[in-house]
Structure 1
């Protein structure tokens, strides 16, 4: 919408009156955010208008970093990140893709030497409005137009992050929210389209009767705004302030001497910037009293998947990869797209030939003609892919959607972009260690005997301690009996940039920040968390924090009387003491603390195992297993002797839950503290007639644990257990069957098969031989089985 008359210009400048400003030309380009059609139309309009100032809907305090668009290192998708300086967790993103009209407007301005300014409310105000609860939580229609908060970036709803609506006002309807979030989609739906971009292509860009579509779109938006129900008061105030700020910036650049101004904004706001505008004084009154907070703004990498609706982004789209293709493939977009689809399927070893591509192109074009559309859209190429290339397989079609339709392209940011010192240190460390910050998930196998791999491990563990989960430990795929291997799963998500900013409160380097965070976490942490923190400090190689945390463990252990806490704390402490062998870090101070914990655990164990119910016994059995594994890892004869004596005391008692006596008996047998014959005698006693069947089953469950292969290799135990099961009366067998099923159900299929084979190989006992088959009773069943198998009845 162009304005060039004195009246229009006077309205745009707040009644500036006649003079040089009255000859200024202002054109408002209302766009659909993240739309390739909108992006192309904006560039065409800018080429025609040749403005000397381009205003873009975005946080006004981002102007200082707008110049980085000219840096070749800033590659979309990227996002403006704004965060409150003294509270980095309060932050917001304004994402841009290469097909975003706002991005193309900024790029065009830098290419032509035009001034570019963001004109929306500054982040200092919008983030302050979030804290006061007056920001519209649903007004997320634009990159640069409105922010995506951290809850949206993570794909979750976080109540209170963006403020709640006025409690006294009714919530806006879903239809209203949909119209306001994507007004062009509402127009497309009214025209019978399910794809706003296809509607734009068919109805707007294919028309030849108007040079640009923006005047028509502004009129349509005016009608939608007039018909839309009113927002709650707080949300309406926020929107009014946004549009008032846009008009004030427009007046400012006109007063500064701009002759031709282009305003690129969401189509919904276009009517508020054209026609007869409110006075500058009324806009100033709207903005007066708006809260503010000190913020910092920079660029961060973004991804296509974070532009999608599925990520929780309100202005999201369903097919960012497809839109990127539409914008970058200027000729033959459908054949080029289907060729890429064929490449994805071939990478999965599927037989997709060039003939498939040709046939799919023909089908997509035919579908477009039958539907009266000038070009095939995403729906047509998807149906052609399903019919021709995937044979109707929805799983393969989902693969194409993930790889291409959505995609996982990640942008980059130049090193000169403003950032906190911690982020700069992380970037330098990652570069030195050749760790790329990629959005695609990848595995990383580390050999801690190598200097580079050990340094990578330290960096990733330090980041995890800071809450920056770039890497997550996984199970190594390399078979090894040593402790020198680590496996990681690396994924760099855009919201981790905010986590880095939050972590910068602890220090300017990763090592210093992790040390400070560990010392802070040690204050007030319970004993199990403290010993786990010791382990993490050793993994991260934090020699400054380790003594403080170890001292805290000693103090807390001396005062903690809960045996569950003592047992939960010991394994992590023992594992930490072992790291001196692999990583070269000193862990000698941990040995004395671990010894003290073990002495207190053994002393408290007899009382701890008394009068437990099933749930308590189950929990304590897991703790026994963990402590036992830790003592074996420790390889200290005194510790092993002390722990075995404690287990023997529990195993010999008759007033303890069978799950625990069975488990302690098994642990003693495995460490040769009890002979197999002795273990068999205790099993036989536990399965004697005087013991209730549920108690017998609990003893068996504790004894066998998760290692069913013991029955395969110990024929005497298998015979004893088999005889016990066969001797159970029907009523008792019914009682213990669920317990036995739980025990044997924990084994994998191979173990269960091996146990079954071992049972069938056993010689027939007198108990089993006593069962005589009645041929008359069995005959009907045999005939039915023969019919089912297709044999003669």
Structure 2
């Protein structure tokens, strides 16, 4: 028995000596350089990398010439694409370097972390473990210290970031051999992990999660040792080394990961970006400055280490060029001086090469002359970077992603994280194609472009877009697969589905407009049918009014796409008839919020009806406005706007308007009278400037209020007058100072001036008064 135990222990020891755990920092260029050196020295038969095991299916594509980092492996649930996760790589990521090293030499390479199928199942502990954790007596929660901060404090550094950068990422390519550095990392991180467990500790859930992940890793390491006689290199986060060295049997690890919930997962490669690699983006494993790390990697990846001087000079030359692009006088001499200053600072601080802090201080002094404003203008380009990765055409993509790439080639649009403004002429084939592309993307939730020009929504022949890409939009493309495998089919499916799930007339009207500008007549027809059916049973007049305006704008101004004009005009007429029939009774006893929404909708509807040009509908609308002014149950703001529209369209003469105005403010409570006045006056001072009778009726009403009523009415009046421009306010004051004056109407002025009378019909036509049904 003793001999058997001794033989088993000897075999276990032999296996362990064939495993080399190489502890790295994710996305660290110094770690990547050291790792490359260690792999060259070890020449392992197999390379294992921390990462979801579903990534094994993507490994072969990493060596294709069109694969240009930053890239990410995208894992998403087959039945819910929004449930997704990324595993990003930059060219300076140690995992990417290990992957390429193994592929270039024909060695086996595998991912060994727990599967994405487990991570995305959103069940880090099973019910039994949760019950055990909840019944434990937990000590008061303590702040978990970063193990690097612990090491930094012991070594005399300010924080863990500075410590790791100085010793690993900016080691300068000199000193100890890579294997010696990794041995030192293992010792230090193991001690730091043990110290953290003793002092700060992790929660029970966190501990269980880490234990399970490391159980998966140990299992894969054992399997690799069975497959290969030679050395096995495992590239993992330095934090995990202590856990992987822990003595645990295969049976114990199998029990720990047994029966974990899993879901079906799809995997593909996706472009990534510098900004998404940065810690500022919210990426937990991100780095502060991807742009700076790329510059370090350029130094380390060369065949020969050129030293600190060219390294500093190249960075400062790049900085000077960016400053010149922003209009600053950054000379070559100043760039040379900045490089010398950075080298001097690094020498004083005992560093092999200048760090980012030294480079920034030198730039601020020699190139920016102490002006941080200049440096802030280029910080994103310089420190974060602007690179977006590219996927080789041979990589299998999601069907919708393939169609997206095809559209990008057709429209000559290239995703970029830099915000770009683009002006489109829809009368050109190229402009119309780009517009259609962007509108369809918005319908499926891929908001690459944002429409800036408000007039573009009116179906005019120009559009102004703001384009900004971020890699999260790749997930949105995956989510849209449920609607179709091409951009057109997905946009149709998403639009029709949204129309089937809403009874809001305004939302349906927006969907009709969106489908038309996206050149989706099938979806537009379905939304029109849905809108007509919903309008029959709808009693919300505000929603009906809101729906009319976007539809009228399309019919009025036209569109560069195919337009079902007959169906749209019929729909608008149906909606307008419903509104005219129910607007008065639907405006009784509205509360403040309902009244505010109603008057906004009335303004839009009144304008749209004038543009639509249907005389019968317009006349009926004016009759309803008159009835609302005389209806005592109508909400005061609605009555105020109704009277204002009758005044502006000259449906009522000045005496009738003045009488109605007086009736609604004299003897009424300050709240009701003030709400009426606010709505009547809102938007323009001309009504008071051109109609002195109304002005002095308002003046008399205010003068007759007692102190309490005046104080109560003042906020409403001030809010109404706040919409007047400075010139309008001044002219109102001039009117008040001048006393009561009679202002001639257009008709009276025409009678006194024969030439003006002859020009009056043309003037009315120019101002659009005849189209509003106003008699000369």
Pairs within 5 Å for 1:155-170: none
2:372 is the alignment partner of 1:405? no
Partner deviation per Cα, 1:202-244 (whole Å, 9 max, x = no partner): 4353673555310011011211222223544443333222222
Decide whether the 8 Å contact of 1:42 with 1:105 is kept in 2.
Answer: yes
Partner deviation per Cα, 1:128-181 (whole Å, 9 max, x = no partner): 2x246669xxxxxxxxxxxxxxxxxxxxxxxxxxx99965565996743x53xx
C-alpha spacing 1:724/1:415, structure 2 compared with 1 (3 Å) = farther
Pairs within 5 Å for 1:111-190: 111-128=104-121, 130-131=122-123, 175-176=143-144, 179=146, 183-184=147-148, 186-190=150-154
- Partner Cα distance (2:139, 2:398) in 1: 39
- Partner Cα distance (2:148, 2:81) in 1: 34
2:599 is the alignment partner of 1:626? no
Residue 105 of structure 1 aligns to a residue whose secondary structure is helix
2:707 is the alignment partner of 1:740? no
Residue 584 of structure 2 aligns to a residue whose secondary structure is helix
Partner deviation per Cα, 1:479-521 (whole Å, 9 max, x = no partner): x997222222222211111111111011111111222222222
C-alpha spacing 1:623/1:702, structure 2 compared with 1 (3 Å) = same
How well do the aligned residues superpose, as a CA RMSD in angstroms? 3.5
Decide whether the 8 Å contact of 2:52 with 2:112 is kept in 1.
Answer: yes
C-alpha spacing 1:418/1:642, structure 2 compared with 1 (3 Å) = same
Counterpart in the other structure of 2:294: 324
The one of 168, 175, 178 aligned to 1:208: 175
Counterpart in the other structure of 1:671: 649
Decide whether the 8 Å contact of 1:647 with 1:664 is kept in 2.
Answer: yes
C-alpha spacing 1:653/1:281, structure 2 compared with 1 (3 Å) = closer
Counterpart in the other structure of 2:540: 562
C-alpha spacing 1:555/1:48, structure 2 compared with 1 (3 Å) = same
Residue 48 of structure 2 aligns to a residue whose secondary structure is strand
Normalised by the length of structure 1, the TM-score is 0.82
The one of 236, 248, 256 aligned to 1:286: 256
2:271 is the alignment partner of 1:271? no
C-alpha spacing 1:717/1:315, structure 2 compared with 1 (3 Å) = farther
2:227 is the alignment partner of 1:259? no
Decide whether the 8 Å contact of 1:85 with 1:294 is kept in 2.
Answer: yes
Pairs within 5 Å for 1:169-568: 175-176=143-144, 179=146, 183-184=147-148, 186-194=150-158, 196=160, 198-200=162-164, 202-204=166-168, 205=171, 208-211=175-178, 212-229=180-197, 230-274=201-245, 277-329=247-299, 331=307, 332-475=310-453, 483-528=460-505, 529-568=507-546
Normalised by the length of structure 2, the TM-score is 0.83
C-alpha spacing 1:90/1:258, structure 2 compared with 1 (3 Å) = farther
Greater Cα shift, 302-311 or 696-705 = 696-705
Residue 665 of structure 1 aligns to a residue whose secondary structure is helix
C-alpha spacing 1:596/1:353, structure 2 compared with 1 (3 Å) = same
Residue 389 of structure 2 aligns to a residue whose secondary structure is coil
Tell me how far 1:388 sits from its aligned partner: 4.2
Partner deviation per Cα, 1:456-482 (whole Å, 9 max, x = no partner): 22222222222222222222699x997
C-alpha spacing 1:188/1:724, structure 2 compared with 1 (3 Å) = farther
- Partner Cα distance (2:357, 2:275) in 1: 19
2:566 is the alignment partner of 1:588? yes
C-alpha spacing 1:167/1:666, structure 2 compared with 1 (3 Å) = farther
- Partner Cα distance (1:377, 1:27) in 2: 30
Tell me how far 1:644 sits from its aligned partner: 2.1
Count of matched residue positions in the alignment of Structure 1 and Structure 2: 717
- Partner Cα distance (1:722, 1:366) in 2: 77
Counterpart in the other structure of 2:29: 36
Decide whether the 8 Å contact of 1:75 with 1:412 is kept in 2.
Answer: yes
Structure 1 portions without partners, runs of 5+: 1-6, 136-162, 769-793
C-alpha spacing 1:403/1:669, structure 2 compared with 1 (3 Å) = farther
C-alpha spacing 1:726/1:525, structure 2 compared with 1 (3 Å) = closer
Counterpart in the other structure of 1:755: 728
Tell me how far 1:607 sits from its aligned partner: 1.5
Decide whether the 8 Å contact of 1:302 with 1:411 is kept in 2.
Answer: yes
Residue 583 of structure 1 aligns to a residue whose secondary structure is coil
- Partner Cα distance (1:165, 1:560) in 2: 54
Residue 259 of structure 2 aligns to a residue whose secondary structure is coil
Tell me how far 1:722 sits from its aligned partner: 8.5
Structure 2 portions without partners, runs of 5+: 301-306, 742-776
- Partner Cα distance (1:196, 1:741) in 2: 58
Residue 213 of structure 1 aligns to a residue whose secondary structure is helix
Tell me how far 1:745 sits from its aligned partner: 2.9
